[in-house]
Structure 1
Amino acid sequence: MIKAIIGPGKYVQGNGVLKNIKDYVKDLGHSFFIIASENGIKRTRPIIEEGFAEENVKLTFEPFGGECSENEINRLKALVEKSNSNVIMGVGGGKVFDTAKALAYYLGLPVVIVPTVASTDAPCSALSVIYTDEGVFSKYLMLPKNPDVVLVDTGIIAKAPVRLLVSGMGDALATYFEARASVRSNASSMAGGKSTKAAMALAELCYRTLLEDGLKAKLAVESKACTGAVENIVEANTYLSGIGFESGGLAAAHAIHNGFTVLEECHHMYHGEKVAFGTIAQLVLENSPMEELKEVIDFCLDVGLPVTLRDLGIEEVKESDIRKVAEVSCAENETIHNMPFKVTPEDVYNAIMGADALGKSFKKLQ
Structure 2
Amino acid sequence: MISTTLFPGRYVQGEGARRQIGSDLSRLGARGLVICGPTVFRKALPDYEPFMRKAVDVTVETYRGECSDEEIARLLGLALHSKAQFIVGLGGGKVLDTAKAVAYEARLPVAVVPTIAGTDAPCSALSVIYTEEGAFKRYLVLPRNPDLVLVDTEIVARAPVRLLVSGMGDALATWFEAESCRKAYASNMTGNVGSLSAYALARLCYDTLLEDGLAARTACEARIVTPSLERIVEANTLLSGLGFESGGLATSHSIHNGLTVLERTHAFYHGEKVAFGTLASLFLTDKPVDVIDEVFDFCESVGLPTTLGQIGLADVSDEELLAVAEASCAEGETIHNESVPVTPRSVFAALKGADAEGRRRAR
Deviation at 1:54, TM superposition (A): 3.5
**Distance (whole Å) between structure 2 residues aligned to residue 249 and residue 36 of structure 1:** 29
Deviation digits for residues 43-97 of structure 1 (CA, Å, limit 9, x no counterpart): 3333333213443x32111011010000000111111111111110000000001
Deviation at 1:361, TM superposition (A): 1.3
Matches within 5 A, 1:58-97: 58-97=57-96
SS of 2:322 mapped into structure 1: helix
**Distance (whole Å) between structure 1 residues aligned to residue 193 and residue 135 of structure 2:** 30
Deviation larger for 102-111 or 40-49: 40-49
Match of 2:47 in 1: 47
**Distance (whole Å) between structure 2 residues aligned to residue 359 and residue 150 of structure 1:** 36
Match of 2:10 in 1: 10
Amino acid at match of 1:249: G
Amino acid at match of 1:133: E
Match of 1:27 in 2: 27
Amino acid at match of 1:355: A
**Distance (whole Å) between structure 2 residues aligned to residue 267 and residue 248 of structure 1:** 27
What runs of 5+ residues in structure 2 fail to find an aligned partner?
A: none
Amino acid at match of 1:256: I
Match of 1:146 in 2: 145
Match of 1:118 in 2: 117
Match of 1:200 in 2: 199
Q: What TM-score comes out, normalization by structure 2 length?
A: 0.98
Q: Does 1:332 align with 2:338?
A: no
Deviation at 1:359, TM superposition (A): 0.8
Match of 2:107 in 1: 108
Match of 2:274 in 1: 275
Q: Does 1:262 align with 2:261?
A: yes
C-alpha spacing 1:53/1:104, structure 2 compared with 1 (3 Å): closer
Q: Is the 8 A contact 2:22 2:53 kept in 1?
A: no
Match of 2:362 in 1: 363
Deviation larger for 22-31 or 287-296: 22-31
Deviation digits for residues 330-362 of structure 1 (CA, Å, limit 9, x no counterpart): 000000000012200011000000111111112
**Distance (whole Å) between structure 2 residues aligned to residue 297 and residue 334 of structure 1:** 25
**Distance (whole Å) between structure 2 residues aligned to residue 53 and residue 171 of structure 1:** 33
**Distance (whole Å) between structure 2 residues aligned to residue 54 and residue 170 of structure 1:** 37
**Distance (whole Å) between structure 2 residues aligned to residue 79 and residue 335 of structure 1:** 34
SS of 2:122 mapped into structure 1: helix
Match of 1:167 in 2: 166
Percent identity among equivalent residues?
54
Deviation at 1:110, TM superposition (A): 0.2
SS of 2:60 mapped into structure 1: strand
**Distance (whole Å) between structure 2 residues aligned to residue 54 and residue 195 of structure 1:** 40
Match of 1:287 in 2: 286
SS of 1:122 mapped into structure 2: coil
Deviation digits for residues 79-138 of structure 1 (CA, Å, limit 9, x no counterpart): 111111111000000000110001100110000000000000000000000000000000
**Distance (whole Å) between structure 2 residues aligned to residue 109 and residue 51 of structure 1:** 21
Deviation digits for residues 176-235 of structure 1 (CA, Å, limit 9, x no counterpart): 000000111100101331111100110000000000000000011011111111000000
Matches within 5 A, 1:189-268: 189-268=188-267
Deviation digits for residues 282-326 of structure 1 (CA, Å, limit 9, x no counterpart): 110011001000000010000000111111111212001000000
Match of 1:133 in 2: 132
Q: Is the 8 A contact 2:32 2:84 kept in 1?
A: yes
Amino acid at match of 1:17: A
Amino acid at match of 1:155: E
Deviation at 1:271, TM superposition (A): 0.2
Segments of 4+ in structure 1 off by > 6 A?
none
Amino acid at match of 1:309: L
SS of 2:180 mapped into structure 1: helix
SS of 2:146 mapped into structure 1: coil
Q: Is the 8 A contact 2:285 2:340 kept in 1?
A: no
Q: Is the 8 A contact 2:22 2:54 kept in 1?
A: no
**Distance (whole Å) between structure 1 residues aligned to residue 85 and residue 259 of structure 2:** 37
**Distance (whole Å) between structure 2 residues aligned to residue 205 and residue 326 of structure 1:** 30
**Distance (whole Å) between structure 1 residues aligned to residue 253 and residue 30 of structure 2:** 38
**Distance (whole Å) between structure 2 residues aligned to residue 283 and residue 49 of structure 1:** 44
Match of 2:322 in 1: 323
Match of 2:157 in 1: 158
C-alpha spacing 1:94/1:52, structure 2 compared with 1 (3 Å): closer
C-alpha spacing 1:49/1:284, structure 2 compared with 1 (3 Å): same
SS of 1:192 mapped into structure 2: coil
Deviation at 1:19, TM superposition (A): 1.6
